[in-house]
């Protein structure tokens, strides 16, 4: 019996909405590959996968439950991005890497270094919880992490969890979690030095060393990036000059294995970003953004079944502008005591967590705290996987908030797994939402209810997945009419409801020496009260890529495509759809030297991620890295 592949049907269904025919052809080709794999497979299986790449099912991830778990045991929808993928991407910022991940869109006011938003499954940027080596990053002024100020050069690995995780992480994780890891030292000594150049006067330099000896492991890195940029505002009322940026970053990770059962570790990531933007005709201002993320960890394995982790974290996000002066600083402090008990197929977790937030944004000088108890139970045996979590957060401002989640996975055939989950989450209003001149002290937390179904298949380097979800948000905070706050311009209020509903397809397939990969999102993020689309989010977006080895080179190509979006919540200004074609190549030019080259937006497509803000156009980057083997 001939089995119809969902890829082929899917490519046909999106042919009209996406904007460039070559992108549609590419998506249809991927569907054809999936159909070929069906016919060739011993059991006629449809290709299923969940990752940007196809990692080993034994690979360990920590983001889904905050404890290390094999990828094969996960019920959650997770993508893993390793350092090789980051370097091959040639991307200039973290958001550019994430934009190639299933379920993610970005917005940006110009080029790298400018205000950036990340929409995970269509959810607001502030609904994604962001951690760097376990250190929470957030702004109590704007809400959400400052994506533009997290330095890509210091990142070794990224784990993206799609779907609410409030029962594990507490406030913020209504759309998902992005966990960022810096490099950890391994046995021996491994230095590296890299330089790179691109158009728009872009220059990069990085250096570092990692290693381990005896009971100590370490990894140190430093990087400098700068670019003259391009004219980010092409409207007549703004200065027609270049808007460039400069970034200096550093990271350190040092571990001490006290004995066979106890380990101490300290992590640090810091970045100083200075970028330009237009403030009128012939006028320029500077964004000066500083952040640091510091963590101290103690892990202890008390018995073969029981272990604990104690963590103290501190992060700072400072943003100011000059010469038009504005200054805001967020300080976050965290304390975590986590317990894990494993017995056969059972995993029980219990965590006590305290979070302290502070905002200095004159005349605001406010702080608050949240104390939480989180419990989890996991069961993996045979064909069945069960994960249950509950959490209660007590906030010093608005009181208590409970969240919970339940997920089940069933392996009903070799390499096949079906999953289902439900969960609740919340986001506490920022201190700026409550205490600025636009603030309302009686604001309630935004809350959500999510349900999703998934189907996955994976074998060797081929895989495919489909996940359908619906996430409904109550008490959405929006900027509304004046009356409840001191400002006559408007006030923040819990007056909206939103729904983030869609289907995510992702796949990877090896066809001879060529590795194909792709994803497609069909979604409908909308305001339930008005029925209008949420700003800067498309109903359809996707990626398709292929790479292979050729005469000592790794060469690849990819397509990023997005349908049209609206720039405002009123759906009055349209941002046109686009397709971007990117090419990349790398080769070893000597024993310890690697050459990397990338061409982004090869067709020089003119498109916008935010109205009246330009994008880079065709971009070329070439780099060389020395890393002794």
pLDDT tens column, 567-620? 999 999 999 999 999 999 999 999 999 999 999 999 999 999 999 999 999 999
The pLDDT of residue 85: 86
For residue 24, is it within any domain? no
Task: Tell me: pLDDT of 25 over 90.
Answer: no
The pLDDT of residue 341: 97
For residue 333, is it within any domain? yes
Task: Tell me: pLDDT of 35 over 50.
Answer: no
The pLDDT of residue 21: 39
Under 8 Å between Cβ of 405 and 422: yes
Helix (H) or strand (E) holding 25: helix 21-40
In eight-state DSSP terms, residue 428 is: P
The pLDDT of residue 112: 86
Under 8 Å between Cβ of 46 and 29: no
For residue 15, is it within any domain? no
pLDDT interval class at 279 (50, 70, 90)? confident
The pLDDT of residue 18: 37
pLDDT interval class at 45 (50, 70, 90)? very low
| Residue whose structure tokens are 């937006």 | 601
Under 8 Å between Cβ of 281 and 260: no
Q: Could you give the percent of the chain with pLDDT greater than 90?
A: 81
The pLDDT of residue 524: 96
**Cα–Cα distance list, 334 to 141, 191, 315, 330 (Å):** 18, 33, 9, 13
The token pair that represents 469 in the structure block: 């979800």
Report, as an integer, the average pLDDT of 258-283. 94
pLDDT interval class at 74 (50, 70, 90)? confident
The token pair that represents 121 in the structure block: 């499954």
pLDDT interval class at 55 (50, 70, 90)? very low
The pLDDT of residue 460: 83
pLDDT interval class at 36 (50, 70, 90)? very low
The pLDDT of residue 252: 98
The token pair that represents 458 in the structure block: 């994976």
**Contacts by 619-622 with C-beta closer than 8 Å and gap 24+?**
619/198, 619/199, 619/200, 620/198, 620/199, 621/90, 621/92, 621/196, 621/197, 621/198, 621/202, 621/596, 621/597, 622/196, 622/197, 622/198, 622/595, 622/596, 622/597, 622/598
pLDDT interval class at 3 (50, 70, 90)? very low
State how far the Cα of 49 lies from the Cα of 461, in Å rounded to an integer: 10
State how far the Cα of 122 lies from the Cα of 55, in Å rounded to an integer: 26
Q: What is the count of structural domains for the chain?
A: 1
To the nearest whole number, what is the mean pLDDT of the chain? 89
For residue 63, is it within any domain? no
Sorted by sequence, the CB contacts under 8 Å of residue 42 that are 6+ apart come out as: none
The pLDDT of residue 8: 33
The token pair that represents 406 in the structure block: 């339940």
State how far the Cα of 44 lies from the Cα of 48, in Å rounded to an integer: 12
For residue 617, is it within any domain? yes
pTM: 0.90
For residue 563, is it within any domain? yes
For residue 58, is it within any domain? no
pLDDT interval class at 186 (50, 70, 90)? very high
Sorted by sequence, the CB contacts under 8 Å of residue 512 that are 6+ apart come out as: none
The pLDDT of residue 57: 52
The 10 Å Cβ neighbour count of residue 331 is 16
Environment class of residue 616 by beta-carbon count within 10 Å: exposed (0-12), middle (13-18) or buried (19+)?
buried
State how far the Cα of 186 lies from the Cα of 155, in Å rounded to an integer: 16
β partners of residue 290: 272, 318
Report, as an integer, the average pLDDT of 189-212. 96
For residue 89, is it within any domain? yes
Domain of 40, in residue numbers: 35-52+68-626
Q: Between helices 21-40 and 6-13, what is the axis angle to 10°?
A: 170
The pLDDT of residue 461: 80
The 10 Å Cβ neighbour count of residue 512 is 6
Task: Tell me: pLDDT of 262 over 50.
Answer: yes
Sorted by sequence, the CB contacts under 8 Å of residue 174 that are 6+ apart come out as: 123, 124, 127, 164, 166, 425, 426, 427, 446, 448, 471, 473
Task: Tell me: pLDDT of 194 over 90.
Answer: yes
The pLDDT of residue 92: 77
Compute the C-alpha angle 137/519/134, nearest 5°: 20
Q: Could you give the percent of the chain with pLDDT greater than 70?
A: 91
Report, as an integer, the average pLDDT of 365-392. 97
> Could you give the maximum distance between any two Cα atoms of the chain, in Å?
71
The token pair that represents 452 in the structure block: 């999703």
Task: Tell me: pLDDT of 50 over 70.
Answer: no
Helices (H) and strands (E) counted in the chain, each on its own, are 6, 34
Task: Tell me: pLDDT of 91 over 90.
Answer: no
Q: What is the CATH number of the domain that holds 185?
A: 2.40.170.20
């Amino acid at each position: 019996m001939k089995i119809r592949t969902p890829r082929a049907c899917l490519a046909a269904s999106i042919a009209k909405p996406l904007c460039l025919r070559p992108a549609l052809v590419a998506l249809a080709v991927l569907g054809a590959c999936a159909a070929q794999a069906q016919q060739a497979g011993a059991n006629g299986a449809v290709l299923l996968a969940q990752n940007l790449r196809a990692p080993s099912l034994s690979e360990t991830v920590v983001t889904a439950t905050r404890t290390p778990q094999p990828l094969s045991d996960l019920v959650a929808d997770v993508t893993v991005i390793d350092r090789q993928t980051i370097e091959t991407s040639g991307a200039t910022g973290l958001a550019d890497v994430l934009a190639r991940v299933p379920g993610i869109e970005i917005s940006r006011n110009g080029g790298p270094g400018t205000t950036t938003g990340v929409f995970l499954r269509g959810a607001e940027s502030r609904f994604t919880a962001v951690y760097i080596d376990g250190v929470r990053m957030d702004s109590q002024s704007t809400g959400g992490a400052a994506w533009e100020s997290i330095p890509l050069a210091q990142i070794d690995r990224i784990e993206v969890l799609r779907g609410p995780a409030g029962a594990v992480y507490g406030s913020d994780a209504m759309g998902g979690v992005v966990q960022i890891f810096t490099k950890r030292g391994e046995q021996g000594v491994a230095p590296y030095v890299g330089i790179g150049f691109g158009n728009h006067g872009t220059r990069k330099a990085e250096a570092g060393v990692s290693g381990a000896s005896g009971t100590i492991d370490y990894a140190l890195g430093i990087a400098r990036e700068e670019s003259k940029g391009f004219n980010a505002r092409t409207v007549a009322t703004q200065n027609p000059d270049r808007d460039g940026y400069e970034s200096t970053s550093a990271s350190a990770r040092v571990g001490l294995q006290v004995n066979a059962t106890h380990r101490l570790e300290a992590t640090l990531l810091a970045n100083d970003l200075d970028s330009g933007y237009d403030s009128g005709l012939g006028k320029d201002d500077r964004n000066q953004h500083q952040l640091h993320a510091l963590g101290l960890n103690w892990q202890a394995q008390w018995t073969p079944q029981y272990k604990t982790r104690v963590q103290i974290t501190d992060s700072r996000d400072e943003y100011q502008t000059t010469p038009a002066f504005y200054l805001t600083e967020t300080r976050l402090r965290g304390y975590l005591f986590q317990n894990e008990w494993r017995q056969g197929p059972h995993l029980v977790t219990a965590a006590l967590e305290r979070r302290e937030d502070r905002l200095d944004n004159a005349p605001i000088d406010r702080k608050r705290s949240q104390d939480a108890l989180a419990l989890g139970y996991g069961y993996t045996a045979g064909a069945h996987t069960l994960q249950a979590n509950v959490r209660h957060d007590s906030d010093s401002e608005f009181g208590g908030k409970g969240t919970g989640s339940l997920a089940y996975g069933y392996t009903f055939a070799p390499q096949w797994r079906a999953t289902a989950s439900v969960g609740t989450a919340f986001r506490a209003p920022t201190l700026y939402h409550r205490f600025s001149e636009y603030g309302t002290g009686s604001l309630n937390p935004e809350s959500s209810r999510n349900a999703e179904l998934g189907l996955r298949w994976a074998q060797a380097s081929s895989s495919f997945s489909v996940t359908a979800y619906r996430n409904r948000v109550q008490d959405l905070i929006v900027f509304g009419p004046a009356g409840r706050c001191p400002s006559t311009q408007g006030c923040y209020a819990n007056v909206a409801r939103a729904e983030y509903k869609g289907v995510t397809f992702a796949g990877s397939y090896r066809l001879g020496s060529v590795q194909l990969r792709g994803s497609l999102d069909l979604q409908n993020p909308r305001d339930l009260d008005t029925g209008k689309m949420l700003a800067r989010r498309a109903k359809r977006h996707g990626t398709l890529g292929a790479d292979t080895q050729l005469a000592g080179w790794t060469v690849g190509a990819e397509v990023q495509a997005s349908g049209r979006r609206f720039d405002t919540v009123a759906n009055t200004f349209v941002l046109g759809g686009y397709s971007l074609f990117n090419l990349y190549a790398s080769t070893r030019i000597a024993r310890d030297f690697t050459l990397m080259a990338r061409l982004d937006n090869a067709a020089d497509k003119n498109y916008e991620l935010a109205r009246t803000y330009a994008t880079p156009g065709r971009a070329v980057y070439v780099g060389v890295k020395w890393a002794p083997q």
